[in-house]
Amino acid sequence: MTILVTGGAGYIGSHVVRQLGERQEKVVVLDNLSTGFRSAVLHGELVVGDTGDRELVGRILREHRIETIMHFAAHTIVPESVSNPLKYYGNNTCSTRNLLQASQEAGVKHFVFSSTAAVYGIPEGGLAAEDSPTQPINPYGTSKLMSEWMLRDLAAATPLRYVVLRYFNVAGCDPGQRIGQSTLKATLLTKVVAEAAVGKRPHVSIFGTDYPTADGTGVRDYIHVEDLASAHLKALDYLRANGASVTLNCGYGHGYSVREVISTMNRLTGQPLKTLEEPRRAGDPPSLVAKATRVRELLGWVPQHDDLEAIIRSQLAWERRLQQEPGLQKN
């Protein structure tokens, strides 16, 4: 049966599509290419359109007899969600509602949802487990949590079963350098430091140096995109084996500070990056690290790239490729 991947031309979705294609799964990608790229879709059929277009989604589900939806399409920039919340509720929440409506009408069996650690807000001690209170501090996190609730309630009322994967900080790129993080004006720290290392940015801004952390900068749990993508395939196998609906954290269970990420890049290149210390950004927690034993136990997920230096090395290699082939960032 065919899998629909929404947002499959984007950073994370394209890595999942690649792994699905390598496993000979039948894939249809739905992406409006607002932040995704045609060149990133290495397998399956690409349909250009919006997840909020219920008529289009319904037609895709019927014509391709879709059994599983993997839903990545979303806006993801925290500061932008604070300044323009309705954009995030419109795209992340309302479009997901339309997608779920179409799923119900088409009898879709399985749903894998791309959620975020931002649903936890500022967890006690900076460590978040799946049963930690969900108290998002920005509209991005709230928009994703509302989608989780809709999915939960629909599954309670219908035969639909789901896996919600709450991502921590996704980083790195395809080890084969076929696809990577190509988003223009990205805010992901590992992407920012890689751009600075190749001269695309004049400096790296450190937003907040007075957090209650070891060095005063924010601490995050960085997970390699390749490991995150493999968790989605494990989630698919779990649902096909009649697994019950579940919500799982996707992280490594330990964190690194902003200064540690920057110093790792400095060590790799031998050229210290220029940094600029700035005030805290709205919506940023001091520390956010996953308690992520459940995803390993339930899905049998075993990370292969849990190494900060390897993650940053892959990010740097991809950034150098973008310098050589700028067409990769055009549709």
The pLDDT tens digits of the residues spanning 247-264 come to 999 999 999 999 999 999
pLDDT at 281: 86
CA pair distance 2, 5, nearest whole angstrom: 10
% the chain with pLDDT above 70: 100
User: What's the pLDDT tens digit per position in 69-102?
Assistant: 999 999 988 889 999 999 999 999 999 999 999 9
Mean pLDDT of 135-150: 96
In the three-class reduction of DSSP (H, G, I as helix; E, B as strand; rest coil), residue 70 is classed as strand
**C-beta separation of 3 from 64 below 8 A:** no
Compute the mean pLDDT over every residue in the chain, rounded to the nearest whole number.
95
**C-beta separation of 186 from 275 below 8 A:** no
pLDDT at 330 over 80: no
Closest CA to 174 of 5, 2, 14, 8: 14
Please enumerate, as own/partner, the contacts of 19-22 that have beta carbons within 8 Å and a separation of 24 or more.
19/229, 19/230, 19/232, 19/233, 20/44, 20/233
328 band by pLDDT with thresholds 50, 70 and 90: confident
pLDDT at 255: 96
In order of their start, the domains of the chain are 2-171+222-250 (3.40.50.720), 189-220+253-288+305-329 (3.90.25.10)
Mean pLDDT of 5-12: 97
Could you give the residue ranges of the DSSP H alpha helices within 161-257?
189-197, 225-240
Could you give the residue ranges of the DSSP H alpha helices within 107-245?
139-157, 189-197, 225-240
**Choosing from 140, 222, 238, 256, which is the catalytic residue?**
140
Terminal-residue alpha carbon distance, the chain: 29
Mean pLDDT of 167-178: 93
% the chain with pLDDT above 90: 91
- Annotated catalytic residue 140: yes
The structure's pTM equals 0.95
115 band by pLDDT with thresholds 50, 70 and 90: very high
Q: How far is CA 122 from CA 133, 134, 162, 200, in A?
A: 9, 9, 26, 32
**C-beta separation of 292 from 253 below 8 A:** yes
CA pair distance 60, 125, nearest whole angstrom: 45
Closest CA to 40 of 50, 49, 29: 29
DSSP annotation of 81: H
**C-beta separation of 257 from 219 below 8 A:** yes
pLDDT at 78: 84
186 band by pLDDT with thresholds 50, 70 and 90: confident
pLDDT at 245: 98
